[in-house]
A and B are shown apart, each in its own frame.
Chain A
Amino acid sequence: MSFVKLSASALAIAAVSATAAAARDQVQVAGSSTVLPYASIVAEAFGENFDFPTPVVESGGSSAGLKRFCEGVGENTIDVANASRKIKDKEIAVCAENGVTDIIEVRIGYDGIVFASDIDGNTYEFTPADWFLALSDKIVVDGALVDNPNKTWADVNASFPATDIQAFIPGTKHGTREVFEEKVILAGCEETGAFEAFKAANGDDKKAAEKACIALRTDGVSVDIDGDYTETLARIESNKNGIGVFGLAFYENNTDKLQVATMSGVVPSTESIATGEYPVSRPLYFYVKKAHIGVIPGLKEYAEFFIADEIAGPDGPLAEYGLVADPELAKTQEAVAEEKVLGGNS
């Protein structure tokens, strides 16, 4: 530490003791960028309808949000983590290590993941198998596992145009990536029979086979996007052959620039996702620190308001923005009212 830094910190300490650290009175939220729009809509309505200040909602990805969530208990840690996937056992363990033991899990609804290309580009009708053949590291050719030789979409499926494969998929810090791997790549892996080949190659180890399935090629054909969907959109606008992975809500706001591909013959929409016809969807969650309820004013009210019928119900503003309402919302409302924690008897 140089003299400068030392004196800066000394003055900072003086400044703090002078202002007497005031207690935080707004709810602090961070996490998934997919949940961010919904959370900000709720936060805004919460600030308007309650006497509590408007909660602060940050993004940064599900994993980043849960990591901050698990840093500990206290005013300098966040109260709510948004996630586009379920919390992992590993993360629960990290949480517990840092004293975050009572976590309330709240499922707010479902979100569809869509595949879209430029509005002036080609139209696609995908199946999970197409994506596996296009992006997997290794595929089965003539009964043997080889490095993925496919260069154009026509190589993957003869009915597709012969344009180069160029896919923009969410980076690994996004919860969307896991859903993409599980619901599309893994499904395609099983569909094409490659799963059996991987299993045989890994000595009948199912876990290892799954891992081999979702290993994507690294030769530049698939590009990880660590930023937000706007970045994916910009990539597609500059590369008309590119295909991007988006959230349904993002697509619905940009229908003038994007055209959506069908998956297994189903057009993605809130309706087809609600009925389960459209295969690539996932539940969205947020996690609340029970220890902060009663300490941070408005935290419980925020959680309850988020899943109230008038907000998260099928006619609420969240559904209007693109969220697929959870048919079991009443159960979630009950669980939040009772403050049921993870690992309890829920």
Chain B
Amino acid sequence: MTDLSANSAPATRHGASLLKQNARTRRRNRAEARFRAYGIAAIAVGLAMLLVLVFNIVSKGVGAYSQTFVTLEVELSESKLDKKGNRDIEEIKKVSTFGYAPLINNAFAAAVKEGGLETRLKPKDQAGILSKSAPAQLRDYVIANPDKIGETVSFRFLANSRVDGYLKGRVTRDSIANDKSISAEQLDFVDQLAAAGILKKTFNPDFVLGSDASDQRPESAGIGVSMVGSLFMMLVVLALSLPIGVAASIYLEEFAPKNWITDIIEVNISNLAAVPSIVFGILGLAVFINYMHLPMSAPLVGGLVLTLMTLPTIIISTRASLKAVPPSIRDAALGVGASKMQAVFHHVLPLAAPGILTGTIIGLAQALGETAPLLLIGMVGFIASNPPDSLAAGLLSPNSAMPAQIYEWAKRADPAFYERAWGGIIILLVFLVTMNTLAVILRRRFERRW
């Protein structure tokens, strides 16, 4: 390079021209081309993996959003449900879900007769293609509408997971050869019902809105209630970690003297950000449940634990965005007579806000997908609660969270749960992508560069 200044025509001196490359230049250019190719290859590999992942998730999970339903006319016979005929709700409640099964058997017998279907199955085996949730659905309806007893009402029942799998191609006549819960005759019957229009596969809103179900009825399991659980946890995380995180970082960045104490605090915050999340779970169990006696499996505790996990992320990103505000702004504010606090709150903080919001949203997204700390505070398991009816219930009554629910489904025996786990992942990913996009948009629109 020094040749350039020493000689006005270095190319000629080396016997090369700008038009003709010498060997060394060619080598350098080739190296650069190779490097670019590596970079493109790396991006391609990354993109390919993402595509494979998304393709896998969508193809495996999309099945969870449609479900097989059977529409039946059920006679709510008075002799079974309200023997005395006085419509006393307490007496109607005494008939357990097991008492409703015969009604469904009768409904099948009637449907077969009416539709002129030919099957050798007994009504009990015909009803075997229905979900175990069907009697519970009937009972709920009767308790809510006791005046309908004695009438014939049309119901849309879920078919059980094997039948649903048959319509989705997961279950075949070969694969059920050793299966005790369904027979080939029942599948024939399913074909007949489908031809008669009684049995249909349609979109299933209950997967998005409903609650978890036991191992025997994967078809009625939904992710809705755990979504609400996640929402309440995020509320707690936001309400606690944003003010604490911002206050801590403003103090550390703008007011705190630089001495060994603040140094230690700084190092510890960075350390906390690297602590595995399960550690916060153990801490939550020890402090919030065993010491402070907060209820187990409650989103409040989950939110507190995740707050601890999110705080360092928020503090670090907040401090970074405070640091990015040029000192001249502070100096100008102080110069016209503003107090230090006025300088911070009127000038520095508004300029740092987009960065703080971005960091908070990314911290929340991280917390939303966290499962490990929830294991220890009882939020992973069979938690089939109804959607909470108040803020306090939402915070304190037991609930799960989306990633915990997905983990729980992936462990269960029935393959139908596996499909639901993938379906749940789709929803979780939609949430995460939305949050991250929001963070990007906020940064693009409001961030100022100096």
Given known contacts A48-B97, A53-B397, A255-B179, A21 and B244 CB-to-CB distance under 8 angstroms: no
Q: Is A321 part of the binding interface, using a Cβ–Cβ cutoff of 8 Å?
A: yes
Q: Which of B176, B214, B272, B414 contacts A44 (CB 8 A)?
A: B214
Inter-subunit contact A16/B294 (CB<8 Å): yes
CA distance A16 to B98 in the complex (A): 42
Which residue of A is nearest B174, CB measured? A256
Q: Is A202 part of the binding interface, using a Cβ–Cβ cutoff of 8 Å?
A: no
Inter-subunit contact B244/A252 (CB<8 Å): no
Q: Is A115 part of the binding interface, using a Cβ–Cβ cutoff of 8 Å?
A: no
Inter-subunit contact B244/A7 (CB<8 Å): yes
Q: Which of B97, B300, B312, B381 contacts A15 (CB 8 A)?
A: B300
Which chain B residues (365-396) contact chain A, with CB distance < 8 Å?
378, 380-385, 392, 395-396
Q: What 0/1 pattern do residues 263 to 297 of B give for CB contact below 8 A with A?
A: 00100110010000000000000011110111111
Q: Is A58 part of the binding interface, using a Cβ–Cβ cutoff of 8 Å?
A: yes
Which residue of A is nearest B384, CB measured? A54
Which residue of B is nearest A255, CB measured? B178
Q: Is B226 part of the binding interface, using a Cβ–Cβ cutoff of 8 Å?
A: no
Which chain B residues (384-439) contact chain A, with CB distance < 8 Å?
384-385, 392, 395-398, 410-415
Given known contacts A39-B382, A57-B382, A321-B215, A228 and B244 CB-to-CB distance under 8 angstroms: no
Inter-subunit contact B378/A4 (CB<8 Å): no
Q: Which of A12, A26, A44, A255 contacts B288 (CB 8 A)?
A: A12
Given known contacts A4-B272, A11-B244, A19 and B381 CB-to-CB distance under 8 angstroms: no
Given known contacts A19-B395, A21-B295, A48 and B215 CB-to-CB distance under 8 angstroms: no
Which residue of A is nearest B378, CB measured? A58
CA distance A197 to B159 in the complex (A): 58
> What's the least CB distance linking B108 to chain A, in Å?
18
Which residue of A is nearest B314, CB measured? A4
Q: Which residues of B contact A7 (CB under 8 A)?
A: 244, 248
Q: Is B308 part of the binding interface, using a Cβ–Cβ cutoff of 8 Å?
A: yes
Q: Which residues of B contact A41 (CB under 8 A)?
A: 214-216
Q: Which residues of A contact B180 (CB under 8 A)?
A: 252, 255
Q: Which of B139, B215, B289, B381 contacts A58 (CB 8 A)?
A: B381
Given known contacts A76-B293, A229-B413, A230-B412, A19 and B175 CB-to-CB distance under 8 angstroms: no
CA distance A229 to B410 in the complex (A): 11
Which residue of A is nearest B396, CB measured? A22
Q: Is B181 part of the binding interface, using a Cβ–Cβ cutoff of 8 Å?
A: yes
> What's the least CB distance linking A207 to chain B, in Å?
35
Given known contacts A2-B269, A229-B413, A317-B216, A19 and B139 CB-to-CB distance under 8 angstroms: no
Inter-subunit contact A4/B244 (CB<8 Å): yes
Q: What 0/1 pattern do residues 298 to 331 of B give for CB contact below 8 A with A?
A: 0010001001100110010000000000000000
Q: Is A36 part of the binding interface, using a Cβ–Cβ cutoff of 8 Å?
A: yes
The interface centre, meaning the residue of A4, A36, A45 with most chain B CB atoms within 10 A of its CB, is A4
Q: Is B194 part of the binding interface, using a Cβ–Cβ cutoff of 8 Å?
A: no
> What's the least CB distance linking B19 to chain A, in Å?
60
CA distance A56 to B215 in the complex (A): 14
Inter-subunit contact B268/A56 (CB<8 Å): no
Inter-subunit contact A254/B382 (CB<8 Å): no
Q: Is A218 part of the binding interface, using a Cβ–Cβ cutoff of 8 Å?
A: no
Q: Which residues of B contact A3 (CB under 8 A)?
A: 248, 265
Inter-subunit contact B378/A28 (CB<8 Å): yes
Inter-subunit contact B382/A43 (CB<8 Å): yes
CA distance A340 to B217 in the complex (A): 34
Inter-subunit contact B381/A30 (CB<8 Å): yes
Q: Which residues of A contact B412 (CB under 8 A)?
A: 37, 230
Inter-subunit contact B308/A5 (CB<8 Å): yes
Q: Is B353 part of the binding interface, using a Cβ–Cβ cutoff of 8 Å?
A: no
> What's the least CB distance linking B348 to chain A, in Å?
21
Inter-subunit contact B289/A76 (CB<8 Å): yes
Which residue of A is nearest B248, CB measured? A4
Q: Which residues of A contact B215 (CB under 8 A)?
A: 36-37, 40-41, 321
Inter-subunit contact A8/B307 (CB<8 Å): yes
Q: Is A75 part of the binding interface, using a Cβ–Cβ cutoff of 8 Å?
A: yes
Q: Is B109 part of the binding interface, using a Cβ–Cβ cutoff of 8 Å?
A: no
Q: Is A224 part of the binding interface, using a Cβ–Cβ cutoff of 8 Å?
A: no
Q: Is B163 part of the binding interface, using a Cβ–Cβ cutoff of 8 Å?
A: no
Inter-subunit contact B413/A253 (CB<8 Å): yes
Q: Is A59 part of the binding interface, using a Cβ–Cβ cutoff of 8 Å?
A: yes
> What's the least CB distance linking A281 to chain B, in Å?
18
Which residue of B is nearest A259, CB measured? B178
Given known contacts A4-B311, A28-B296, A19 and B392 CB-to-CB distance under 8 angstroms: yes
Q: Is B17 part of the binding interface, using a Cβ–Cβ cutoff of 8 Å?
A: no
Q: Which residues of A contact B300 (CB under 8 A)?
A: 15, 19
CA distance A63 to B248 in the complex (A): 42
Which residue of B is nearest A14, CB measured? B240
Inter-subunit contact B175/A256 (CB<8 Å): yes
Q: Which residues of B contact A229 (CB under 8 A)?
A: 413
Given known contacts A12-B288, A320-B216, A56 and B411 CB-to-CB distance under 8 angstroms: no
Q: Is B177 part of the binding interface, using a Cβ–Cβ cutoff of 8 Å?
A: yes
Inter-subunit contact B304/A12 (CB<8 Å): yes
> What's the least CB distance linking B142 to chain A, in Å?
12
Q: Which of A4, A49, A227, A259 contacts B312 (CB 8 A)?
A: A4
Q: Is B132 part of the binding interface, using a Cβ–Cβ cutoff of 8 Å?
A: yes
Inter-subunit contact A256/B297 (CB<8 Å): no
Q: Which residues of A contact B152 (CB under 8 A)?
A: none
Q: Is B72 part of the binding interface, using a Cβ–Cβ cutoff of 8 Å?
A: no
CA distance A42 to B150 in the complex (A): 30
CA distance A323 to B229 in the complex (A): 32
Q: Which of B236, B289, B296, B413 contacts A254 (CB 8 A)?
A: B413
CA distance A41 to B181 in the complex (A): 16
CA distance A28 to B412 in the complex (A): 20
Q: Is B96 part of the binding interface, using a Cβ–Cβ cutoff of 8 Å?
A: yes
Q: Is B136 part of the binding interface, using a Cβ–Cβ cutoff of 8 Å?
A: yes
Inter-subunit contact A53/B175 (CB<8 Å): no
Given known contacts A254-B413, A256-B176, A40 and B214 CB-to-CB distance under 8 angstroms: yes
User: What would 20 A/B residue contacts be, using CB atoms closer than 8 Å?
Assistant: A3-B265, A8-B308, A11-B240, A12-B304, A13-B292, A21-B293, A24-B295, A30-B381, A36-B215, A41-B214, A44-B213, A44-B382, A56-B381, A56-B398, A71-B290, A230-B411, A249-B413, A250-B413, A253-B181, A253-B414
The 9 closest A-B pairs by CB, nearest first: A58-B381, A256-B175, A37-B215, A40-B382, A255-B178, A57-B382, A40-B214, A253-B413, A44-B214
Measured CB to CB, the residues of A under 8 A from B are 2-5, 7-9, 11-13, 15-16, 19, 21-22, 24, 26, 28, 30, 33, 36-37, 39-41, 43-45, 47-49, 53-54, 56-59, 71, 74-76, 78, 227-230, 249-250, 252-256, 259, 310, 317, 320-321
